[in-house]
Amino acid sequence: MNRIALQMLLGDRAKYLGLIFGIMFATLLISQQTSIFVGILVRTAGQILDVYEADIWVMDPRVKFFEEIEPLPDTAVSRVRGVPGVKWGVPFFRGQVVARSTDGMLQQIMLLGIDDATLTGAPRKMIMGNLDDLRRPDSVIMDRDGFNFIWPDEEMKLGKVIELNDRRAEIVGFCETTPPFVTTPVVYSRYSNAMKYVPPRSKQLSYVLVKASDGQTPEELCKKITAQTGFAAYTWRQWAWKTVGYILARTGIPINFGITIALGFIVGSAIAGQTFYLFVVENLKQYGALKAIGVSNGRILLMVLLQALVVGVIGYSLGIGLAAMFFEFTGKNVPALRGFFLPWEVAAGAFVAIMTIVLLVSVFSVRKVLVVDPAIVFRG
């Protein structure tokens, strides 16, 4: 009977394609929107994750997420270093600066100042130039997307000079970073250099990055640092989650994405559900004939489930394929979406969601078949 079920499905080309299209569309919408959502959340914590050397981030207790800075006094570094269990502690600066170039360009950038001695927090992947050149005076490293953003028509080349707070800064390298939440170029410099690129203030230090000694759990050390210095201290994981949590709680992003994802769900299920329902209902007489002939309800249920499974799997495969292609293309060609991809968790979640929809709809539609009076076969 399985073969017959499949033939019934394929026999109705138009509805078969409609079903596949509906499920494909729902899959695409759900997986694409969820992926972008996940991508944005990762971006918000991207700069934290990029600093892979540090176990712990120390900051002013009033800081709520990565992009909002309440500076610490310069003495904070040595105070943190004084806490037992701290292997090393280095300063880290993060700020917004306006960059100006000789060709008249004006651009807000994210400036990251890393420890002069160790370059802790330096970009992990250089594309052009040498990380050590950062030690030269007035030198900075810019991320590739930043460059392409500022000078879309130019080839990347070293030695370009920009002005930060009226001070000369020479680009000695290009790197790849996790793109920030708001698409801004990212510029790295030594900490001492960065201090020249921002207007002087009494307190400038954004974070102290800490490595725990061997045998010292970062969670324990955080407590000790807080107890001894009064600063807030989080493991990198806690800090990344705190930042993501802040974005979730304080912006419209989750709601908007939630709405889009829900819409994808609803529209997709409506299309797929409606078509499948119609498919089943319009075949009611055929099922009635089968029931009259003596096909049991259980068999008919299996037939309908098989039909649902087939359109579900095919529609899902096409939809997830389209979503993957979308990210394959935009991930490379659209800077605003660079680094966005289709996480396998999202693909798996979309599969579960789609199959749930399809199976629910088929069970819902099949109810009509199960109660259909086989006597309908005798009526015109």
Partner 1 sequence: MSQASQTSPTAATLAAAPVAIECRAITKEFVNGDMVTPVLHGVDLELPAGEMGFLVGPSGCGKTTLISIIAGILTPTSGEVTVFGRDIQHLSAGQKTRFRRENVGFIFQQYNLLPALSAVENAAIPLIAAGRPYREATAAAAELLSRLDMGDHLKKQPRQLSGGQQQRVAVARALVHQPKLVVCDEPTAALDAHTGHRVLELLRAIAISPDRAVIVVTHDNRIFEFADRIAHMDDGRILDIERNGHQRNSGASAATQAATTRHGGSHHV
Binding span for partner 1 by CB under 8 A among 28-36, 88-96, 143-151, 368-376: 368-376
CA distances from residue 288 to 15, 100, 254 in whole angstroms, order as listed? 20, 77, 47
CA-closest candidate to residue 111, choices 99, 101, 128, 127:
99
Do 176 and 141 touch, CB atoms closer than 8 A?
A: no
Question: Whose Cβ is closer to partner 1: residue 11's or residue 137's?
Answer: 11
3 binds partner 1 (CB under 8 A): yes
Binding span for partner 1 by CB under 8 A among 7-15, 82-90, 116-124, 212-220: 7-15
CB of 4 to partner 1, least distance (A): 7
Binding span for partner 1 by CB under 8 A among 168-176, 268-276, 346-354, 369-377: 369-377
370 binds partner 1 (CB under 8 A): no
CB of 315 to partner 1, least distance (A): 20
Q: Which of 128, 267, 292, 313 touches partner 1 by CB under 8 A? A: 292
Q: Compute the CA torsion angle 17, 23, 25, 28 (nearest 10 deg).
A: -130
375 binds partner 1 (CB under 8 A): yes
Per-residue x/- marks for partner 1, 293-332, CB under 8 A?
xxxxx-x---------------------------------
Q: Supply the DSSP string of 120-146, one letter for each residue.
A: TT--SEEEEE-GGGGGSTTEEEEEHHH
Question: Whose Cβ is closer to partner 1: residue 152's or residue 380's?
Answer: 380
Distance CA 127, CA 142 (A): 10
Residues binding partner 1: what is the number (CB under 8 A)? Answer: 29
Integer Rg of the chain from CA: 29
176 binds partner 1 (CB under 8 A): no
Question: Whose Cβ is closer to partner 1: residue 253's or residue 284's?
Answer: 284
- The first and second tokens of residue 207, run together, are 């974070």
Dihedral of CA 138/139/145/147: which sign? Answer: positive
Binding span for partner 1 by CB under 8 A among 3-11, 33-41, 79-87, 217-225: 3-11
Q: Supply the DSSP string of 264-292, one letter for each residue.
A: HHHHHHHHHHHHHHHHHHHTHHHHHHHHH
Binding span for partner 1 by CB under 8 A among 85-93, 222-230, 290-298, 344-352: 290-298
Angle at 162 between CA 157 and CA 166, to 5 degrees: 170
CB of 6 to partner 1, least distance (A): 9
CA-closest candidate to residue 177, choices 86, 118, 239, 109:
109
- The first and second tokens of residue 280, run together, are 């089943």
Question: Whose Cβ is closer to partner 1: residue 10's or residue 255's?
Answer: 10
Question: Whose Cβ is closer to partner 1: residue 109's or residue 280's?
Answer: 280
Report 255-284 residues binding partner 1 (CB under 8 A): none
CB of 306 to partner 1, least distance (A): 14
Q: Supply the DSSP string of 202-219, one letter for each residue.
A: S--B-EEEEEEPTT--HH
17 binds partner 1 (CB under 8 A): no
DSSP state of 72: B
Binding span for partner 1 by CB under 8 A among 6-14, 63-71, 114-122, 269-277: 6-14
Q: Which of 285, 332, 367, 368 touches partner 1 by CB under 8 A? A: 285
Dihedral of CA 248/249/253/257: which sign? Answer: positive
Binding span for partner 1 by CB under 8 A among 71-79, 215-223, 236-244, 288-296: 288-296
Q: Is 75 exposed, middle or buried (0-12, 13-18, 19+ CB in 10 A)?
A: exposed
371 binds partner 1 (CB under 8 A): no
Residues at the site binding partner 1, with contacts judged by CB under 8 A: 1, 3-4, 7-12, 285-286, 288-297, 299, 373-375, 377-380
